[in-house]
Structure formats: structure tokens, C-alpha cells
A and B are shown apart, each in its own frame.
Chain A
Amino acid sequence: MADNLQLNAEGKLKHFLSIEGLEKSLLTEILDVAESFIGMNDQQIKKVPLLRGKTIVNLFFENSTRTRTTFELAAKRLSADVLSMSISTSSTSKGESLLDTIRNLEAMFVDMFVVRHAISGAAHFIAQQTAPHISVINAGDGQHAHPTQAMLDMFTIRQIKQDFSNLRVAIIGDILHSRVARSQIQALNTLGVAEVRVIAPKTLLPAHVESLGVSVSHSLTEGLKDIDVILMLRLQKERMTSALLPSESEYFKCFGLTEDKLKIAKPDAIVMHPGPINRGVEIDSKVADGPQSVILKQVSNGIAIRMAIMAMAMQKQGVM
């Protein structure tokens, strides 16, 4: 996929589709701008006029609560007009109907699409097809990428750990099907952490996973040693029925994060999860609600990071 599609002629962000192809300096700039939006929480009127008069459409072809609401809030705090649409994907001619939807919305003078779709590459496709002045943000496409989730995770990590260079980060769970994991791995490696370690059963790891720039462990008790940051992934229930795993309880026994297992990691390790949490499947409630969990901080940070990305993608609109 053409990743420079994401940048305009001046090298500034135009679309935000995946972490791949974006340089460390740009990711750092996103984190810095988001930092300033956090300060806005002190304002009586939590709004800045940056995107006044702009129209943003959230196009959600797949269910989402957190991502859609935080995108919506972020757009509103930037003073944009925002429309959230949940669209069923039951149509057989998806490609065609997707383009039709886009054309119709373009005719309503939209400035930005925030897209979630079950098919990998959907946001890229829209970015390629849409009118030149429109920016596209990927809010999750198939098993490909979820770059804004990865950036809010990076923001949360930096907020607590300050510096990336000495960190050992573990990603635990269904790496094979996870767009979140793919984007996290790219972001962590671009920002230059000491180690990204994936911990999962063999059936939930892609072939040649090491080529993504990670080390691999198949044991939680082994893999958690020396870890500073634990990124949990949601285990989708359908993985049980597809015979990749024996049972939920078996999975919890081997890969569920409990208080005892957490003690293996560094004492100041933080626990993160993109949500929604399956309590008692991938994570114990005592850990999810415990002192090392920063899961709700991630949600708050999601607003600031999405504000930063939307504002940066909309700057100098029209410069190609």
C-alpha cells in the first residue's frame, strides 16, 4: 500500500491510515500536540475553535463504542460538526456500495471521514478514491491496523514512563487477528523501545512473527520477566469456536493476567488494554481494576490523541 498517501507534498499529515511509513518525528509531533490538548481539561469551556465550520463524518461499518464516542467527542472539542453513521455491511457488493456512500457524503461537503471497516484496506481505499480536499482517518480496518489506538497507547506509555528507549513491552494475546497489535508493534519499534515481546500460544501468532521486529514467548511466566509495560489484547470469543483454543478457562489458566503473574513483571510495570475487557478470560478483575492498571487513563487519552490527529490532518487542507 502506498504509505506516502498519508502525507501531503510538504510531508505533513494528510490521511492517518497506518503507523507504517510514518517517521518517528511525526509520531512524536502527534504525541506533543496531544499533550497540549490534555491541558484543555482545565477549561470551563472544553472546546477550541480549530476545526470550526468543518464537517467530519464517522463512518462505522463495524460496531464500536469507545472508539466512536472518543472520535465524536474529539471532533466536537475541536468545534467541528460531526455526524456519526453506523452502516450495515450486509450488502454483497461492498466495494460498490462503499464508494456510493462516499460519493453521496462528498456531495454534502464533508471535510473528513473517520472510517472503521471489517475489511483490511478499506480506509486506504477511501483515501485513494475520495475528493482531494478530504482527509481520511483509519479507526480500524479488518486485521490490518488501528493506528489511533496505538498512538493513544504510546501517549499513555510516555505519560507514565517518559522515555521509550529503555522500555521492554509485552503484547499478550491474540496477535494473529489483532489490528491493534500490528499497529502497536510498528509504533513501539518506530519510537525505539528496547524490546517488543509478544506472548501468545502458537495458534494465535502469525507465521514469521519475528520479522515484525519482536521477540516471542509462548509462556506468560517466562515472558513477563523484566517487562515495563504490559499490553493486553482482547480475546475474541469466536476464536474458541474456530478450534484455535481449547476453552476460555484453559486460556485464562495459561495466558490470563492475574495478580500472581503480574508480580513476575517489574514492580512498576503498567497494565493496558484497548477494551472491551473480557474479565476472567484474558485478564483478572483484580488486575484490570488494580493499582497498576491504566486502562481508564487510556480512554481519556484517546480523546486528546484523536484531537491531535484530526487537527494535524486537517491543517492546510487543500495543499496536496
Chain B
Amino acid sequence: MLEIHDLLNKLEAGLNRIIVERQLTNPLMIGIRTGGVWIAEQMHQRLNITEPLGLLDISFYRDDFSQIGVNPNVKPSQLPQHIEGRNIILIDDVFYTGRTIRAALNEIFDYGRPNQVVLGVLIERDGRQIPLSPDCVGASVTLNADQRIKLTGPEPLAIHLQLIDTVA
């Protein structure tokens, strides 16, 4: 079973390694709402990043707007005005199809042109639909098509494996 603290430790170690390898000086960390922000808060603290955490709400950049409409719980994104030339560590909870990350990258680039973006996720699951993948993961898992991972938090952070109700 997936143990949250192991995953957080593994993600932290992976991020530390990539910061050195890719020479990510003065990185800006951005969490994707909602679950990604909870993970990002942990990583932000563990990696001693002093600059405030950026918060990204990708609702207006989703590619399924014509099917699902506007998310009524949308919140404003909070990013620093100068993304130009920055090294960004983007954090999400679960990497699945890759569509969230595409939307997030599109939004980030509307704020400016970063130098590098690396992606860290707590859990990568199978089911990629576009050619994007995370740079560091807490764990990679293979699930059945009717299973999904749900994160609850922020206190306490917990991972749940759920069955999708295909009727609803």
C-alpha cells in the first residue's frame, strides 16, 4: 500500500537531486490546485525555499471546457508577476493523462517565458494520453481503468484508492 510519508520522502529526494543536476538556482515552486498545492506546501518547506509558493488554478485552461463547463469553485491563480527566465518546480498530486500539466504549462507561459520547468508529482499512474511525463515521482503505480487515486488533506494528508462509479 502507498504510504504518504514514504512518497513525500522519495519526492523530496528526487527534487533535491534534480535541483543539483539541472542547476535550478533560486527556484520558484508552483502547486496546482487543489491536491498539488498540499504536496507543494510540504516540498516548499522541506526544500527551504524562501520565496512564497505560487498557486495555480488551471480551470480556465482545461481542454474539456465544452464538456464540463466552468468549475464553479475556481480560485484566482497567484503567481509572481515575473516568471520570465525563472526556474520553476511545478508540483501536482497525481499524474494521469497529462492534460492537467499541459493546461498548467499553457497558463504559466501566459505569465512569461521561464528558463526551465521541472515537474514533480506524488504519484504517477498509467494512462498517459499526451507526450508529457514527470521528472520526479514519489511512486509509479499501475491501476485498473475503473480505479482512481484521491488525495485528501491538507491535514492530515492521505491517499485513497477509489472505484469510479461508471453509472453516475
Contact = CB atoms under 8 A, between A and B. Distances in A.
Interface residues of A, number: 24
Interface in A14-72: 29, 32-33, 35-40, 42-45, 47-50
Given A36-B57, A36-B60, A317 B66 contact: yes
Contacts of B84: 44
Contacts of B60: 36-37, 40, 48-50, 311
A316 interface: yes
Contacts of A37: 60
Interface stretch (B45-53, B67-75, B117-125): B67-75
Given A44-B112, A47-B110, A49-B61, A38 B76 contact: yes
A33 B61 contact: no
B61 A48 contact: yes
Contact of A33 (B66, B74, B110, B112): B74
B7 interface: no
Contacts of A38: 76
Contact of A43 (B57, B73, B110): B110
A36 B74 contact: yes
B37 to A, nearest CB: 15
B74 A315 contact: no
B84 to A, nearest CB: 8
A32 B74 contact: yes
Nearest to B55: A39
A37 B79 CA distance: 14
A42 B74 contact: no
A45 B74 CA distance: 19
B72 A32 contact: yes
A12 interface: yes
Interface residues of B, number: 27
A44 B84 CA distance: 10
Contacts of B66: 315-317
B124 to A, nearest CB: 26
B81 A33 contact: no
A312 B70 CA distance: 6
A39 B54 CA distance: 13
Given A36-B57, A36-B60, A39-B76, A44 B110 contact: yes
Interface string B19-41: 00000000000000000000000
Q: Which of B60, B79, B83, B111 has the most CB of A within 10 A?
A: B60
A308 B73 CA distance: 13
Q: Which of A36, A47, A308 has the most CB of B within 10 A?
A: A36
Given A36-B74, A45-B110, A315-B70, A50 B65 contact: yes
29 contacts: A12-B69, A32-B73, A32-B74, A33-B72, A35-B75, A35-B76, A36-B60, A36-B75, A36-B76, A36-B77, A39-B76, A40-B60, A42-B79, A42-B111, A43-B111, A44-B84, A44-B112, A45-B110, A45-B111, A48-B61, A48-B107, A48-B110, A49-B106, A50-B60, A50-B65, A311-B70, A312-B70, A315-B68, A317-B66
Interface of B: 57, 59-61, 65-70, 72-79, 81, 83-84, 106-107, 109-112
